[in-house]
Structure 1
């Protein structure tokens, strides 16, 4: 018991930062509902992971309306009991989300130096409506943030795939995942959770596995909640 408590107390943080598009267009095809369900499944899966080697911590930053905001502060996954459903409205202020992610990563009180490399996951179905380029350049050129793995999912035909391709840095995922329905949104998060779980159980969590978005068979997907 003492050894288990010691192991949990000294586990190094493994941060996962979700940047979620909650613009008005996410109401199309019930994409926001699919995203909410997939996020709940994602958090539930990560909450059950062992904390011996690494403690998975998750933050959700949303961007919609006229601003980006921290919906869920960086919190150990096992401590996140429930989250409010995301609500879609307004524009796509993606640059604001990049700024909040950068602030989080550069704040050593939130992500200490002993933490493992963060994973940043960007989800969007549209075109940014703010000055995202400047904010993104600051994120990718930051001494701390540039070490993070960056993955992206394009939802629907209206997503800015070129922008999302620029976001992905090939450290873990080599391509943008394209989702056109609830099943594919769910599939993306299943694969991301498998990757994060693999890192948390590894003796070398900073060695990033290669993500294969075609890895999960359809018969492993339970979409009863959609």
Structure 2
């Protein structure tokens, strides 16, 4: 075969969507600082990943006082700066769900050739808006059904039943962070898992965190399942 007939295969996007609670309660006990540090480390790690088969794309939606797209969907290696997360206001989860549903259904942001998305929801409290309809619409959307979804319960006051219904890993529907340091440990596990997944032979398979948890020492990752 002639050399000019070979066409380089372009890496397919592997979308990662972070839904981060930035309500006022996240401003105590070092939680928002831990979340900022974890997000920074995640971006640094993702930006150095190879892009032979999968290219990690990242977006961050925050909900604290109001819900907004804090970081628009972008290839991780192109991220130059992310504004610091600030804790303030209530917990408008419903509005955040509307934003995420709009992102995940947007075929310009996430084209049909993209690998199965990963959605991470992290929260330390109960929603303060009428979230139920928006939450249900997100989970019942075709693309969210196919996505790998993880939920992190932060502290002692999170709505664990709601968060558990968000996660779709049957073996670990909900992870817990009892303090700020465990927020960082959870996001490190997610980062390692996504990075390993992007290098795998089948990036479109459902991703789990189980093997990542097993690889880390007990004192390095203390997340009760």
Given the two structures, how large is their TM-score scaled by the length of structure 2?
A: 0.90
1:220: Cα distance to partner?
5.7
> In 1, are the aligned partners of 2:165 and 2:173 still within 8 Å (CA)?
no
Distance 2:52 2:131 in 1: 38
> In 1, are the aligned partners of 2:185 and 2:220 still within 8 Å (CA)?
no
- Which residue number in structure 2 is paired with residue 182 of structure 1? 180
Given the two structures, how large is their TM-score scaled by the length of structure 1?
A: 0.89
Distance 1:44 1:145 in 2: 26
Matches within 5 A, 1:1-226: 6-7=8-9, 10-65=10-65, 67-170=66-169, 174-212=172-210, 214-215=213-214, 216-217=216-217
Distance 1:21 1:92 in 2: 7
Provide the secondary structure at the position in 2 that maps to 1:140: helix
Distance 1:83 1:6 in 2: 32
Cα deviation, 1:74-102, whole Å, max 9, x if unaligned, reads 01011112211100100000111111111
1:17: Cα distance to partner?
0.2
Structure 1 gap segments, 5+ residues each = 222-226
> In 2, are the aligned partners of 1:199 and 1:208 still within 8 Å (CA)?
no
Distance 2:21 2:207 in 1: 26
- Which residue number in structure 2 is paired with residue 224 of structure 1? none
Q: Between Structure 1 and Structure 2, how many residues are aligned?
A: 213
Distance 1:208 1:195 in 2: 11
Distance 2:160 2:84 in 1: 26
* Higher alpha-carbon deviation: 130-139 or 91-100: 130-139
Could you list the structure 1 runs, at least 4 aligned residues long, displaced by more than 3 angstroms after superposition: 218-221
> In 2, are the aligned partners of 1:15 and 1:56 still within 8 Å (CA)?
yes
CA-based RMSD of the aligned residues comes to 1.7
